[in-house]
Structure 1
């Protein structure tokens, strides 16, 4: 039987019945579960932010032990050669420092807090900017043990490590790095906790592995167990470091300060103007108490009377005495004991009459108190060596979590011949489209609010979304598959190699 060309169709027998039309794919059901969205956010944030966190952890680990490093490096400046029977009056110690350092303006005095410590006499010099010269005086012999360039009382070594931790020695530009780390740390911790709890309860139907890894597991499951269980142990500490670090960051810290102002929760300022004198252009509470020397001659013999009045008022222990900024100004004496229980009371003293103004730490607003205590704990001062050990454990633990996170990324890479990739593929995108509208609306509004409060978090999140959209668009134009599709034969989105 002959066939006409119209009877022939490519790949179909002439007499085959036409294929029935496939029904359109059903629209995915919307869910109340944000797990797919959190999974993708945790993955991308972990990959991209982990280097910032690693640098912050390493530099923070170095800063934690700067008191011990200072004791080794600056032993000659910080300690006396031999403890004597009787220390000279503080005024004589200041006079010795002034004689040895005729340049600059006397700014503050920190009398020796322990029998083997030196007295620190601080001078402002215009060419040093916010740095100062600190002269170290032996209270027993009046010998000058050394002079260092200091910053808010920090030695050069501590200042160097502090700058590394805060801004990588890049100034204002470098502070972006530390704010990225602090802004995302709490997001990663809470996201990881959510995923781990969901996995143990919903997927595995067990909770005993929340705190301990499954040592019988292999491959990516074993690595995930170490990564997640250690993260649970570190969670509270890491969130604390994130919150306290943000309080003095550049942009989020400014918003925090604005909130304290709106709530009238700042620590109170202390006016150093003496009764009957013209109003002071500056008040106490800034750099070394807020006073900056004006160059006027200061009667250093008055410091002994100031200390007597301070002792009578209960201001004892380590103190920072700021000299008057000019005529009609009093001496500001501030306690500087930052270990628990802290002693941070301040008074203004007229050497002739006594205490004329006072501000006690107990009277500070609660938020201001918590902020101050949080900063001291963040820096490792509040609980002494115990505080240092806890911070060191957090830093080392965070580094381990980061290493295991990258190892999971490597272990999840496709290894089949037709699906090879150098690293693991990200979770499937589009999780937000599966959320129910009320949950999606709450999520969007919450994200906007957090992004406004934490501008660096908001900006980097937008950057992540932009990169993700660009990569997806390029893949679609080139015909490549969208990343995030589970490999054939995998379970729960894990590659066959797991």
Structure 2
């Protein structure tokens, strides 16, 4: 039979799913290589610090047990007396909110928003609800009420304790994680599924492969396939906290009315200066169905209501809130989690799951497995890079990027499509656009240097016995 000629780049770029992927695969492979080499260190740091943060609730309970827990002893004191004890501890400070003890062994938290405190940071006085003694005073952070040890790990994961500049590291990791994960999954599936026993090769690390680099590729690809859903989830939820992409997400949610609703602060016929007391407010909230741990925010204005909000994030529906008139104790507005828009619910669940608090320990175990899996996949990715290193000519070296020219090999419609997609991606996720520009600049510089070295070195010498035969690729006269 006559041998069929090899397919050209134009043939590979013909319409149809197979032709499209054949044309795009070299470009995806090169992008995956650059992103994997340069972004993986940021992803590894995020995975390591995230793994530590996942277990901070247990660490916090052990380190701060004396402030968090008490010995039950009869009937608890009225809540307003506990608040008065806390006020005496911080003389002259105004109470911002109160978190009453929920269980018999829990302490009460009285929170103060002191001048000069950082955003979302409050000073908290822990009070024994039975004896009224102050158990400790410390700074707490955010809705979770994180204590200093947990806050320190949180800031390490968020910005490496470098402020807003440090947040770029975590945003870069979250921005590229989904791109690398999807590209890698497509590359591995296209490789594994076209071989015998494709489904097994796709999912079983090392299945049917020879030792060396083929086995490393199999471990890297199969493990990445198992982790794909978790990586996409962590990337999407992580971007909601980011500076640049997060701002775009917030704007999109506002335009589509996907924001979280809040209770109204309007109280008809309010009597400024009249306050029924925090105990009555708590009783009214309980009657309205706000059970479990709650935070009672005190009015900031004489005519404003109290706001009571459920703060238990281990169960996906316990985030109701109510506004209670300070003068009458009437519940003037209630927002139920069941009334949230679907996207607001998904956002709430996603954030809680990312933090490891949704459903408690099972959530923590899943995140632990994903974080460890990220370390394995990244380590095997670098192992593959090392195994592609040149073994002759240089004692030290690493694998070269996959050959350039994949973009020029595309037809004009595909080139236009790639440019449009990358431009849109760079606008929506700015750090992807900025770092991609850096990748292109580095790649162009390396290409220029390689061409210059080839021109300086001249044509390679003819092989022994070749006579006057022309060098491969040159024109014969």
TM-score for the superposition, normalised by structure 1: 0.84
Asked whether 1:77 is paired with 2:67, we answer: yes
- Residue 157 of structure 2 is matched in structure 1 by 165
Give the CA deviation at 1:110: 0.4
- Residue 101 of structure 2 is matched in structure 1 by 112
- Residue 397 of structure 1 is matched in structure 2 by 373
> Which of 174, 190, 200 is the aligned partner of 1:208?
200
Q: Describe how 1:22-171 pairs up with structure 2 within 5 A.
A: 28-31=9-12, 32=20, 33=22, 34-80=24-70, 82-130=71-119, 131-152=121-142, 153-171=145-163
Asked whether 1:180 is paired with 2:169, we answer: no
- Residue 293 of structure 1 is matched in structure 2 by none
In structure 2, do the counterparts of structure 1 residues 103 and 400 end up closer, same or farther at CA, with 3 Å as the change threshold?
farther
Q: Report the structure number with the largest CA radius of gyration.
A: 1
Matched residues, number: 437
- Residue 467 of structure 2 is matched in structure 1 by none
Q: Describe how 1:327-476 pairs up with structure 2 within 5 A.
A: 327-351=302-326, 352-416=328-392, 418=393, 422-476=397-451
Asked whether 1:276 is paired with 2:274, we answer: no
Q: Is the 8 A contact 1:475 1:481 kept in 2?
A: no
Q: Is the 8 A contact 1:189 1:238 kept in 2?
A: yes
Give the CA deviation at 1:58: 0.6
CA distance in 1, matches of 2:200, 2:436: 34
In structure 2, do the counterparts of structure 1 residues 259 and 172 end up closer, same or farther at CA, with 3 Å as the change threshold?
same
1:476 is paired with a residue whose SS is helix
Task: List alignment gaps of at least 5 residues for structure 1.
Answer: 1-25, 279-295, 483-498
CA distance in 2, matches of 1:468, 1:277: 67
Give the CA deviation at 1:436: 3.0
Query: Which of 268-277 and 64-73 deviates more?
Result: 268-277
Asked whether 1:312 is paired with 2:303, we answer: no
CA distance in 2, matches of 1:447, 1:339: 38
Instruction: Give CA-to-partner distance per residue, 1:232-275, whole Å, 9 cap, x none.
Output: 11110110000011112111110001001111111123232321
In structure 2, do the counterparts of structure 1 residues 341 and 269 end up closer, same or farther at CA, with 3 Å as the change threshold?
closer
Task: List alignment gaps of at least 5 residues for structure 2.
Answer: 1-6, 13-19, 458-477
2:290 is paired with a residue whose SS is coil
Q: Is the 8 A contact 1:132 1:151 kept in 2?
A: yes
CA distance in 2, matches of 1:117, 1:353: 26
Q: Is the 8 A contact 2:87 2:93 kept in 1?
A: no
CA distance in 2, matches of 1:58, 1:453: 27
1:390 is paired with a residue whose SS is helix
Give the CA deviation at 1:430: 1.4
Give the CA deviation at 1:105: 1.4
- Residue 15 of structure 2 is matched in structure 1 by none
Asked whether 1:242 is paired with 2:231, we answer: no
> Which of 175, 182, 196 is the aligned partner of 1:190?
182
2:29 is paired with a residue whose SS is helix
In structure 2, do the counterparts of structure 1 residues 439 and 71 end up closer, same or farther at CA, with 3 Å as the change threshold?
same
Give the CA deviation at 1:185: 0.3
In structure 2, do the counterparts of structure 1 residues 112 and 353 end up closer, same or farther at CA, with 3 Å as the change threshold?
closer
> Which of 248, 251, 256 is the aligned partner of 1:255?
248
CA distance in 2, matches of 1:67, 1:103: 32
Q: Is the 8 A contact 1:183 1:457 kept in 2?
A: yes
Instruction: Give CA-to-partner distance per residue, 1:338-370, whole Å, 9 cap, x none.
Output: 122321111110141410112111111111111
CA distance in 2, matches of 1:442, 1:219: 37
Instruction: Give CA-to-partner distance per residue, 1:54-103, whole Å, 9 cap, x none.
Output: 110011001101100001111111111x1223211111111111112214
Give the CA deviation at 1:421: 5.2
